[in-house]
Amino acid sequence: MNFESASEDDEFRIEARAWLAEHAGHAPDRRAWERTLGAAGWIGLGWPESGYGNRTATLTQQVVWAEEYARSAAPARSGHIGENLLAPTLVAHGSDEQKARFLPPIAAGEELWCQGYSEPGAGSDLAGVRTSAVREGASYRITGQKIWTSLAHEADWCFVLARTDPGSRRHHGLSFLLVPMDQPGRVEVRPIRQMTGTSDFNEVFFDGARARVEHVVGGEGEGWRVAMSLLGFERGVSTLAQQIGFAEELGRVVRAALDTRAADDPVVRDRLVRQWAELRVMRFNALRTLGGSGDPGAPSVAKLLWAGWHQRLGELAMAVRGAAASAGPVDWSSSAPYELDAFQHLFLFSRADTIYGGSDQVQRTIIAERVLGLPREPKG
């Protein structure tokens, strides 16, 4: 099976819909879906190397795949952190042994990853890492706390930015370690309950957790270089797939505006048209920058655009519902489960869009310093 086959899009749609039908009425088993994708070679299309159980694809083919995946309403991915962040980083900086150990399980959907970057008290200041890693023989002993760790409650491994030189400051003396999560008494994951009632983010506590010396990527003290390289992989094809989901959400808001007669209000109509136009601009911007390099402001511009757009869409979804938006789909009482309808979930969850993944303030600072050449923000 290869990308030249004209039937592959249909083949994937059939496979996805069959899987969804089989699991209808049950909580989605995202790990099982990752294994389904991996068995067919659909994980790792964007990797520059094949031979790990993955197939590779051109940039155009990756875009087609990502957009068709979104249009197929396939299950949400839980392996994207390993596939799209760690794997390209290992290809760029990892040893042959590290690539041979970790890339095949990612490609097979067998091992899930989370990202141990953010820490309490440091906000979005990645260089403010205080988690320490002390070498003891053939391993490092890791002590510290990470926060806002997406999918840590499902992950098998975590790539952790830790300070291996206790006398270092800022971006010096950091190392990039691959840490197994299954360490009872040494690694504790505490879900963070959000306004939506869900817990996609977590606190992670390392109390003497162990990471093997051979699982330091790029060498001891090279963590900042590796971490910055990884952040460069956080843009690209996935942005276009994300916009497919945004378009579907906007379509539901437009239909609700027609059903409730909110669209009779010229102000609401203007907001709807503005959302549509801005979404088109985001698509053209993503296509313009796709595959490009050397533009340090492109990821920050993209993040500013989509985060603000999505947040405004959540506000608009509430506006077109009117007073009904304040009532839940079930009775909100102490004896009933806390449930939200789709628009309420969109509104509440999108409040975080301008914070996670680097807040709007951080993105503007990056643009100011790295693109416009303005004086750097003083750091303590």
The catalytic residues are 234
CA angle 269, 343, 281 (to 5 degrees): 50
| H or E, element range at 163 | strand 157-163
Q: How far apart are CA 85 and CA 113, in angstroms?
A: 10
Instruction: State which amino acid sits at residue 193.
Output: R
DSSP for residue 140? E
Q: Are 122 and 128 in contact (CB under 8 A)?
A: yes
**CA torsion 289→295→297→303, rounded to 10°?**
30
Instruction: State which amino acid sits at residue 244.
Output: I
Report CA torsion sign: 56, 57, 63, 64: negative
Report CA torsion sign: 261, 265, 268, 272: positive
In this structure, the strands spanning 139-146 and 132-136 are antiparallel
- Please report where in the chains the tokens 């390993």 appear, as a residue: 82
Q: How far apart are CA 57 and CA 8, in angstroms?
A: 13
Q: List, in sequence order, every residue forming a beta bridge with 134; answer none if it has no partner.
A: 141
